[in-house]
Structure 1
Amino acid sequence: MEGRKLIRMRGSQHLRQRLLLATLSGVPIRIDEIRAQDAAPGLRDYEASLLRLLEKISNGSMVEINETGTKLRYKPGVLAGGRDLVHDCGTGRAIGYFLEPLILLGLFGKTALSITLKGVTNDNTDPFVDTFRTATLPMLKHFGVQIEDLELKIVSRGAPPLGGGEVRLKVPIVPQSLLAVRWVDEGMVKRVRGVAYSTRVSPHMSNRMVDAARGVLNRLLPDVYIFTDHYSGQESGKSPGYGISLVAETTSGCLISSEAAANCSKSEEGDVRNDKAHAQVLPEDIGAQAAMQLLEEIKQGGVVDTARQGLLFLLCGLCPADVSKVRVGKLSPHGIRTLRHIKEFLGVQFNIKPDPVTGTVILTCVGSGYRNISRKLS
């Protein structure tokens, strides 16, 4: 893949994924007209933060941005990994925005990656850190990754708008390559686990979310356990908030997740209020919403939920030159865009076949044969 010509793109859509695939494939890219027509044109702070993060974990990368931030040229370097790195993600996007590219890039580094990320841990825009730990990381074992060496620890919570959270991530390197998968058995749901967190609010908020979620799920399944996780003091971040993350485990080992959060701030009178026009402030609403979303994800079928389709396709595209076969529910817009980017950067094209009996979609591909060329040779 080395020596490929510059790829030109336009617009700010899926910038994170473009940078990720450019780094993995070693292909330089140029992106023009980044929000050129917006009132505030150019790169956002969180996108600039992602570029700084890519520079930290690689050697020899080059980034050129014009004065208005509407044009970006990125030449990827060699993935180096790193120990005891620290990165401030800011408050524009949650830490979940940075975790997916970090995990993939960390697997193919020269050395194992250990990094501390600071910022927002839970919001309604990006995946919760909790969901990454309970649903995303276990996915990697299907591709031959030693998940015993993977670690994602929440040191402190951070809710919008001020954040203040901190997590520690450790990612081992892949000795040579991933393993091709045949993952089509979605199984039947056998239990639901979850965590309801609260920070800088009453601990009773977590209990109310748990009761509401169980009120929906226990009608269908007896084995539902959701534990509460209350943070106070220095571990509670800088803003009040609460939310819930749910994960359904099937008989075949698939993990389907959902999440919901109420991001609060305090008014001048000291009352807790919601930033988004007071919508769904009640913990009961948050708990019920997450439970209903989980049931909807289960109804769609597939071995992963909608939020993890893109990562699943990326892992399949990075597999050896062997056939991978996976089953998902209805293809999401993000999943479709991921398939297009994989074809453009890695040259991998998926065969898509709907299954009318189950309403799911079966995707088959031959991997790109991607190998960890950065690792140290013994």
Structure 2
Amino acid sequence: MIEINGAIGEGGGQVLRTSLSLSALTGTPVRIEQIRANRSQPGLRPQHLAAVRAIAKLTGAEVTGADLNSSALTLIPQKVRPGRYRFEIPTAGALTLLLQTVFLPLSFAGGTSSLILTGGTHVTWSPIFHYLTAQWLPIMVKLGFRAELVLSCAGFYPRGGGEARVKILPARELHLFTCVSRGALTRIRGVSGVANLSDAVAKRQKHQALRRLYPVCQDTKITTQHLPSPGKGTFLLLQADFADGGSACYSALGAPGKPAEQVANEAVDQLLAFLEQDGCVDHFLADQLLLPLLLSPGNSVFRTNRVTAHLLTNAQVIHHFFPGRITVDGAPGQPGLVRVTGGVTF
């Protein structure tokens, strides 16, 4: 049994989610203590408990400690089983993080799985649903993974209530990933979305972003969307592609009293900051690449615009299962080179 101190690194939910994914993939029992010890509300919150129960259901696992606010958990998994599943987060907790927790185990389950996930789709401290479809999933497909993602209903804070339908197919032959020089900026694409608000809000976000981005890249296009949702919300997502395979994606969310122009500026500021740094993939994608590349053959290497605590924490957790396979060269907060020795079998 592998024992994980949930307080390592950031001491947040990622320690739990990565441990759950690796336990399911490898069939290795895991014990996690001090879960989310560094958060203001430590222990298992509803979205984390949903991830635990999802992995337990997929693997027919024996679980102790799967309770709200629990600070310790033991998971003894069996074989991952493909099938039809429904996993619900009763709050606005991010269903995108729940999806990423089960994605790799189900990709190697030996059959196609269909999921219905409920919860938050566009909430803070997590990739929004459109980030997954614009940035994360295309990279996963290039690596050899296969999935289809459909947003049925958006879920914003505090109401939640979003729903996504996902099909995960068995992974094909996997490929390594090399991206150390991004090349010239070739295009920017974006989505400005609202739910239960005037379409004028989406247009204001779009036009403010275009005003600032056209001088940087004339091939910039932003569409507007009106999303079904039980609550109100707004977002702007921007995704940039580069000549040598680099990509970056950033988003911003609206809030009561927050002008549409501020939402746009927040997303644009993040993208422009990336352009000023030496990176091939955005710092959000960087930590999300570690697990997939661990399973891919050969040695992958990529440069990120910022070494984050999230990235370093994920590497620490993986080290407990597969020591010495990830190196991060670069100071926290600065651009860095990430090397992943793949070819892990289980």
Contact 2:6/2:36 (8 A) holds in 1: no
Task: Tell me which residue corresponds to 2:52.
Answer: 51
- Whether 1:369 and 2:344 are equivalent positions in the alignment is yes
Task: Tell me which residue corresponds to 1:165.
Answer: 162
Task: Tell me which residue corresponds to 1:194.
Answer: 190
- Whether 1:185 and 2:181 are equivalent positions in the alignment is yes
- Whether 1:238 and 2:238 are equivalent positions in the alignment is no
Distance apart, 1:338 and its partner CA: 1.4
Describe how 1:310-329 pairs up with structure 2 within 5 A: 310-320=287-297, 322-329=298-305
Task: Tell me which residue corresponds to 2:281.
Answer: 304
Does the residue aligned with 1:185 lie in a helix, a strand or coil? Answer: coil
Task: Tell me which residue corresponds to 2:78.
Answer: 77
Does the residue aligned with 1:79 lie in a helix, a strand or coil? Answer: coil
Which has the greater radius of gyration?
Answer: 1
Q: 1:217 to 1:41 in 2, by over 3 A?
A: closer
Distance apart, 1:25 and its partner CA: 2.6
Contact 1:323/1:367 (8 A) holds in 2: yes
Q: Distance in 2 between matches of 1:343 and 1:92?
A: 31
Q: Distance in 2 between matches of 1:162 and 1:295?
A: 32
Q: 1:45 to 1:66 in 2, by over 3 A?
A: closer
Distance apart, 1:354 and its partner CA: 5.3
Q: Distance in 2 between matches of 1:135 and 1:39?
A: 30
Task: Tell me which residue corresponds to 1:29.
Answer: 30
**What CA deviation, in whole Å up to 9, does each residue of 1:108-159 have, x standing for no partner?**
11212211111221122211101100100111233233x5xx2111111221
Distance apart, 1:284 and its partner CA: 0.8
Distance apart, 1:342 and its partner CA: 1.8
- Whether 1:256 and 2:256 are equivalent positions in the alignment is no
Distance apart, 1:89 and its partner CA: 2.1
Contact 1:348/1:365 (8 A) holds in 2: no
Instruction: List alignment gaps of at least 5 residues for structure 2.
Output: none
Q: 1:251 to 1:261 in 2, by over 3 A?
A: same
Contact 2:56/2:75 (8 A) holds in 1: no
Contact 2:6/2:37 (8 A) holds in 1: no
Q: Distance in 1 between matches of 2:304 and 2:166?
A: 28
Which range is displaced more, 301-310 or 29-38? 29-38
Contact 2:6/2:33 (8 A) holds in 1: yes
One-letter code of the match for 1:304? Answer: V
Task: Tell me which residue corresponds to 2:216.
Answer: 220
Contact 2:195/2:226 (8 A) holds in 1: yes
One-letter code of the match for 2:16? Answer: L
One-letter code of the match for 1:200? Answer: N
Q: 1:194 to 1:37 in 2, by over 3 A?
A: closer
Match of 1:204 among 186, 200, 203: 200
Does the residue aligned with 2:276 lie in a helix, a strand or coil? Answer: helix
Which range is displaced more, 328-337 or 129-138? 328-337
One-letter code of the match for 1:254? Answer: G
Task: Tell me which residue corresponds to 1:344.
Answer: 320
**What CA deviation, in whole Å up to 9, does each residue of 1:209-249 have, x standing for no partner?**
00111111112111111100013xxxx22211111111011
One-letter code of the match for 1:156? Answer: C
Task: Tell me which residue corresponds to 1:269.
Answer: none
Q: 1:37 to 1:94 in 2, by over 3 A?
A: closer
Match of 2:308 among 332, 335, 339: 332
Q: 1:125 to 1:351 in 2, by over 3 A?
A: closer
Contact 2:4/2:317 (8 A) holds in 1: no
Does the residue aligned with 2:157 lie in a helix, a strand or coil? Answer: coil
Task: Tell me which residue corresponds to 2:138.
Answer: 138
Does the residue aligned with 2:98 lie in a helix, a strand or coil? Answer: helix
Contact 2:23/2:77 (8 A) holds in 1: yes
Q: Distance in 1 between matches of 2:157 and 2:38?
A: 28
Q: Distance in 2 between matches of 1:303 and 1:370?
A: 28
Contact 1:297/1:306 (8 A) holds in 2: no
Distance apart, 1:107 and its partner CA: 1.5
TM-score by length of 1: 0.82
Q: Distance in 1 between matches of 2:41 and 2:273?
A: 37
Contact 2:193/2:235 (8 A) holds in 1: yes
Distance apart, 1:10 and its partner CA: 4.1
One-letter code of the match for 2:215? Answer: R
Does the residue aligned with 1:347 lie in a helix, a strand or coil? Answer: coil
Which range is displaced more, 31-40 or 47-56? 31-40
Contact 1:90/1:120 (8 A) holds in 2: no
State the number of aligned residues.
Answer: 338
TM-score by length of 2: 0.89
One-letter code of the match for 1:138? Answer: P
Distance apart, 1:189 and its partner CA: 1.2
Contact 2:179/2:246 (8 A) holds in 1: no
Does the residue aligned with 1:111 lie in a helix, a strand or coil? Answer: coil
Give aligned-pair identity as a percent: 25
